[in-house]
Amino acid sequence: MFIMKTKTVTTLFKKVCLFSLALISFSAIAQEEEKKWFDNFSVNGSVDGYFRYNFGAQNDNSTAPATSFANQSGFALGMANLIVGYEGEKVGFVADLVFGPRGTDATFASGFFDAGGNRVGDATANVINQLYAYWNVTEKFKLTFGNFNTFLGYEVISPTGNFNYSTSYMFSYGPFSHTGLKADFALSDKWSAMVAIMNPTDFTENNPFDTYIFGAQVGYAVDNGSAYLNFRYGNEGEPGLVGPTFQVDLTTGWDLSEKFYLGVNTTYLTTEDQGDADASGFYGVALYPQVKATDNFSIGLRGEYFSVFNGGLVDVVGLDGEGDGSVIAATLTGSYDIGDLTLKPELRLDSTSEDFFTDNDGDATKSLSSFVLGAIYKF
């Protein structure tokens, strides 16, 4: 009797243990699957604002460097940036949304346009900075379809990706975003390549011109730095009214020591004339030396030379009778991290070859000095 009772209890105990183990295993598998599912999603972004003050010039928004974003006087808003993404084993997407003046300026050519390139109705896509899906066809071949930020240039739209808070002339008058299809190739551990076909630059929601832009990139990256040679070519407007545009751009940056970094950007853009006139455009070069003083504080300088020829741009640097003009801009920026908050005080001096700015008396002058304090919170 005792033996039978013991066997019964032992059998019951084994069944309870097996059931418990099965329950624990099922729970662990469910938790693992649930964790993996949520791990594939990401939510991040930033908010930013700034204060800007001119020295020796009026502070009523009438005088500012002709570059993007940080060009309002007094206390001003940047943007709120929300980025939602999904990264699967083979496929994924990114939805990058922007709200505020910086975001509106960055998406200036978004919206619906007629065949002449004129906006029709509201700028419905002014909140969309990027919106694309991608497919990792193989480990070395990736396709991206949709609206993505440009691959040209050193600086980017989000203030979290730049050392300086204000932006350069080359960034401000290069492409911001493209809509199209691009293919990325990993040629080796160090070398990469990209080709793309896209709408005219910054026309991100539709194509009113029935013309397309071709892009290409060759990249080299190692542990202490990288270099990218970028190209774009195509007709940016109505055929017969606007000639093809060609741009070549080199972007590179290197950690020369543990505390010293040097970035370089140079670009050349030319647009052919449909008549007998010479081509027009611009070119420039910028150096970005940066020193890490402490774990929380770094200081960097952006020194830029930017030149316009044959009226390639207007209302940017001031032009002479031949349509030529240039600017030298020096921006000294400090970057101080307080957790996820970064403060960026900077002094900037812009000096043009022709009178372009005005002083306190309203007289024309070739130089403008200003102070900017940017505040960026990243999450």
Name the nearest CA neighbour of 196 among 115, 142, 129: 142
Distance CA 301, CA 224 (A): 20
Please, which residues bridge with residue 137 across strands? Answer: none
The whole-number pLDDT of residue 6 equals 41
In sequence order, the 6+-apart residues with CB closer than 8 A to the CB of 157 are 98, 102, 106, 129, 149, 176, 177
pLDDT single digits (tens) 142-156:
999 999 999 999 999
Read off the pTM: 0.87
Return the DSSP state at 113. B
Name the nearest CA neighbour of 264 among 305, 299, 204: 305
In degrees and rounded to multiples of 5, residue 173 shows phi and psi of: -115, 10
Distance CA 71, CA 325 (A): 21
Name the nearest CA neighbour of 56 among 374, 373, 365: 365
pLDDT single digits (tens) 231-290:
999 999 877 777 899 999 999 999 999 999 999 999 999 999 887 889 999 999 999 999
pLDDT tens, the chain, 379 aa long: 434 444 444 454 444 444 444 444 544 444 445 556 678 999 999 999 999 999 999 999 889 999 999 999 999 999 999 999 999 999 999 999 999 999 999 988 776 666 666 666 565 557 999 999 999 999 999 999 999 999 999 999 999 999 999 999 999 999 999 999 999 999 999 999 999 999 999 888 889 888 999 999 999 999 999 999 999 999 998 777 778 999 999 999 999 999 999 999 999 999 998 878 899 999 999 999 999 999 999 999 999 999 999 999 999 999 999 999 999 999 999 999 999 999 999 999 999 999 999 999 999 999 999 999 999 999 9
Distance CA 97, CA 112 (A): 18
Name the nearest CA neighbour of 149 among 182, 100, 111: 182
In degrees and rounded to multiples of 5, residue 41 shows phi and psi of: -95, 150
The whole-number pLDDT of residue 273 equals 87
